[in-house]
Chains A and B, each alone.
Chain A
Amino acid sequence: MTAANGWTADEMMTVAAARALPDRAVCFVGIGLPSSAANLARRMHAPDAVLIYESGCIGAKPGTLPSSIGDGVLSDTADAVIGVPEIFAYWLQGGRIDVGFLGAAQIDRFANINTTVIGGYQAPKVRLPGAGGAPEIAANCGEVVITLRHGRRSLVEEIDFITSLGHGDGGDHRERLRLRGRGPGTVITDLGVLQPDPETKELTLTSVHPGVEAADVAAETGWDLRVAPDLDVTPPPSDEELSVLRELQG
């Protein structure tokens, strides 16, 4: 899908995710779109954001996007390279990460994430890669930003497996489990931005990307989607955001 002025829906999603990363934030970055977004942010408004990759690279500053979580360009440019048990124990569980960027195969209306199986666990229809670092990223980071492509098979009424907890059953579920982080605060898709209602924690459409109507988003969502009364339109990617992103992607 390409808009009239030349950006794609995936580029809009990446740019919107980049804007969600504040400067000086310490960010736990997954590979793929989250990594593109975090590196774009570092070149735009967040030069002092600290990117942490789960391979043990703290403060990585890759010049081109890595294709795996453990490319040499990450360790070469990092402030520190440490072992994997330390990353998860001292840094993530130690409460030192502000923002976790996660992808997802499926989410539900409370931003619970499935990256494990479609279908039953014992005899799955589709076996997905599994958890990786996500369950503890979702639990322990100050805030979580989720990116995924919109569709009725990805934003679903009920997920088959909770790989990583979002807002559970909604309301104060996270507080009851005594999780340290606030959980998913923003879900960014190729159609718009969803944010949890402050009370119920149900995801609500708060912004649509340019050219997208709220009804389009609702039609692509597997539950009865709530729409914010003051619905925004996401500013389109600027020329600078686009050129920097494309340069990063080589």
Chain B
Amino acid sequence: MSRFAGLAEAVAAHVGDGDTVAVEGFTHLISFAAGHEIIRQGRRDLTLVRMTPDVVYDQMIGAGCARKLVFSWGGNPGVGSLHRFRDAVENGWPRPLEIDEHSHAGLAERWRAGAAGLPFGVLRGYSGTSLADHTLTIAPIACPFTGEELAAVPALNPDVGIIHAQQADRAGNVMLWGISGVQKECVLSSRRSIVTVEEVVDSFEPRVNGVVLPSWTIDAVCVVPGGAHPSYAHDFSERDNDYYAAWDPISRDRRAFEAWLGGMRDGVAA
């Protein structure tokens, strides 16, 4: 059963050094608030998982939280590179970053297998690409019925899955809608889960593409209005495109980044 908790308390209770952690969200419903709290608490040696590591992962990597990144596209959407991510991969700053790299189709299949409790997922993918040569978590497999060669990818089962959602009810069930990405798979695959929400309501209304995650699939629910900013929560906020653009010069420069990091740790800015 989920328990309402403050975000700092939930992160302290559920995210440990060395854990595999996914702060998911496909542009939408990304819990920046939780990522920032992980930085404030100084977590180290994390294996970070995300299909589209964007600015919050750039921040966590630059802050030295991560040892490894499992991902399928690492950029600042609509802007360009993630320069903290690049600095870690290209120069080992602030520490080297091991990578486990996939395509979206492959990583989505890893999430689905994780949620299903299967050891691996299977897809028609990676044929003829260099990814198949470099990524150890891609293996050829023959279909037992037709002999067709397909790609197998191992299930993702992080220690902690963290998402943002629009609402919780008073029993701690969670509802999200709009672009749902792999939010459901992230929570169902992970051993523990934290959901930050915009608000608490007495009861949910039916929504287009609404996803309900029952209380008993979640460990902690934290009420953090605006916790997805600069990402967004459909029907609550707009994506703050200016923030993503403004991140670029900060991300490019180690000193500018460290100044940002100091301010964020002190709670001056997020």
Contacts and interface: CB of A to CB of B under 8 A. Distances in A.
A222 B81 CA distance: 25
Interface residues of A, number: 55
B141 to A, nearest CB: 15
Interface in A133-155: 133-136, 139-140
A121 interface: yes
Contacts of B239: 67-68, 71-72
B89 A135 contact: no
B74 interface: yes
B5 interface: no
Contact of A130 (B73, B78, B111, B125): B73
A56 interface: yes
A70 B108 contact: no
A235 interface: no
A125 B90 contact: yes
Contacts of A88: 104-105, 108-109, 123
Contact of B127 (A56, A128, A131, A179): A179
Given A82-B209, A124-B90, A69 B27 contact: yes
A139 B151 CA distance: 13
Interface stretch (B164-172, B178-186, B249-257, B260-268): B178-186
A1 interface: no
Contacts of B108: 84-85, 87-89
Given A57-B179, A72-B239, A84-B104, A31 B109 contact: no
A67 B127 contact: no
B102 interface: yes
B86 interface: yes
Contact of A70 (B27, B89, B184): B27
B90 A127 contact: yes
B179 A133 contact: no
A6 interface: no
Contacts of A177: 127-128
Contacts of A80: 209
B185 A55 contact: no
Nearest to B77: A68
Interface in A28-82: 31-32, 54-57, 67-72, 74-75, 80-82
Interface in B93-142: 101-105, 108-109, 111-112, 123-131, 134
B4 to A, nearest CB: 27
Given A56-B180, A162-B129, A131 B89 contact: no
Contacts of A127: 81, 85-86, 89-90
B26 A84 contact: yes
Interface of A: 31-32, 54-57, 67-72, 74-75, 80-85, 87-89, 92-93, 116, 121, 123-136, 139-140, 161-165, 168, 173-174, 177-180
- Please list the 10 inter-chain residue pairs (A to B) with the smallest Cβ-Cβ separation, ordered nearest first: A70-B27, A129-B75, A132-B73, A165-B128, A67-B78, A68-B77, A88-B105, A136-B105, A85-B108, A131-B103
